Chains A and B, each alone.
Chain A
Amino acid sequence: MNRHLLSIDDLEVSDIEDIFTTAAEMHDVQKRSVKKLPALRGRTVINLFFEDSTRTRSSFEIAGKWLSADVINLSAKGSSASKGESLRDTVLTVTAMGIDGLVVRHGASGAAEQISRWVDVPVINAGDGTHEHPTQALLDGYTLTRRLGTLEGKHVAIVGDLTHSRVFRSNVKSLVKLGATVTVVAPPTLMPAGVADWSKEAGFATSYDLDPVLPEADAVMMLRVQRERMSGGFFPTAREYTVGYGLTRDRLSLLKPGTPILHPGPMNRGLEISADAADAIDSAVLDQVSAGVAVRMSVLYHLLTGEPQGNEGVGE
């Protein structure tokens, strides 16, 4: 396994399987009364968040704490970054305190990779701009594997604001790696530029039309419409978006019975997902949240333990 987790490209299929195997054990720990494993005792992890986040930051924090690491949260608001300190200086200052791992979220694509070149501790990308969000893709893949048994040969539809979605980019890569067939659906204005070439190369399908895709799908992943990243003009009205691409009550009946519905959150109820879908019996939204802690525990464990110089051990 690579030293950092910046992109799904850093992981081999066997790495993903190892992460899932360990995550399944971590998942059981959540059900215990003593939710603590000593694996990262004495290690310090810093969550460095330059962008708002609730679930990702808190689940990394819980994950680190349940592995007995000391976890410190730093957000851009209230840190020296708001006083004009450069990213490099902020990162070097933080790592100079003698930490063992850095979890980074930043609004700029490629920020995590850039940071990984400056520091000598493992860097985990918790979302960089519109580039990638690998731990989200891993927890989605883990949730789907638990629901569907395997992803091999399964058809996953990813629907919504693809242009602004790092969740989509990471998920396409990991789902295809795990053997799933992926169809991504979005209005033409929210389909990323150059997706035609990329989809051919990576082996996934694209569609502007949601209704024919739903009956074929073994799982549906709805993505949030990221209005904060939009400068307007991507669709005429919210209502029009919902009619074309929202998972409405009517569309639920197009799904095969038992099809899991995923959403990385936070949900815009009534926009991309109806309350009926979000609270449906097949909704996996809360599973995703609990899997998020288990998968992040697994990622922290795999990246922060083991020999410091590469993990290509010879067994014994």
Chain B
Amino acid sequence: MPAHTASGSHEGLTGRVVLDAGDIQRAVTRISHEILERNKGSEDLLLLGLQTRGVPLAERIAASIAQVEGTTVATGSLDVTMYRDDLRDHPTRVASRTQVPAGGIDGKTVVLVDDVLYSGRTIRAALDAVSDLGRPAVVRLAVLVDRGHRELPIRADHVGKNLPTARSERVSLRLVETDGEDEVRIIGIVDSTGPTDGGEA
């Protein structure tokens, strides 16, 4: 049973860097401002990070909002493993933590935060998971990278960087909290099966 192998685990592979640490920080800051603008403040906001790399990103956005507004925004984590539509075809994944603040999600403006938006299947699973947790007033989606190639009618409300890619390419997104460094790379390996795997949505 291999661990949840996500997009950031391509250490040693080459490819080109498309976002460096500064770019990522600026993108997080911009997303934070957009979320505040769209929500007209930080009231009733709940940032729900998708496991694995969405969780630290949600924390970063919360920290950035705290800097701007001087208020604390609730954060949580969401694991969509049990809601995936490809459980039959992939090696079994171990579930990771779903943690929602004590107040629950009912009536909140829930912003789902993920690292890479790709097929949209992870987000589909996340929407199902959210509806089992409660009934938020609004659900929005913030992603650091949108690489295109959607397979479902899903789009992000807040995007750090639109990254046009070929299906044969891989996006490797690494964060300090999970991988020791901040970096987004495009790697041009050809994988004909077309990954709709963990870490990429």
Contact = CB atoms under 8 A, between A and B. Distances in A.
Interface residues of B, number: 26
A25 B96 contact: yes
Interface in A14-49: 14-15, 18, 21-22, 25-26, 28, 32, 34, 36-39
B132 A34 contact: yes
B87 interface: yes
A32 B1 contact: no
A298 B1 CA distance: 13
Given A305-B88, A307-B91, A37 B1 contact: no
Interface in A295-316: 298, 301-302, 305-308, 311-316
Prevailing SS type, chain A contact patch: loop
A19 to B, nearest CB: 9
A316 B195 contact: yes
Contact of B95 (A1, A14, A26): A26
Nearest to B87: A305
Contacts of B91: 306-307, 311-315
Prevailing SS type, chain B contact patch: loop
Contacts of A18: 1, 94
B162 interface: no
Interface string B92-120: 10111110000000000000000000000
B40 interface: no
Nearest to A37: B82
A314 B128 CA distance: 28
A316 B197 contact: yes
B87 A14 contact: no
B1 A39 contact: no
Interface of A: 1, 14-15, 18, 21-22, 25-26, 28, 32, 34, 36-39, 67, 298, 301-302, 305-308, 311-316
Closest 10 CB pairs of A and B: A313-B91, A315-B5, A306-B92, A25-B95, A37-B82, A39-B82, A305-B87, A22-B95, A34-B132, A315-B2
24 contacts: A14-B1, A18-B94, A21-B95, A25-B79, A25-B98, A37-B132, A38-B83, A38-B128, A39-B82, A67-B82, A301-B92, A302-B1, A302-B92, A305-B87, A306-B92, A307-B91, A311-B91, A311-B92, A314-B91, A315-B2, A315-B5, A315-B9, A316-B191, A316-B197
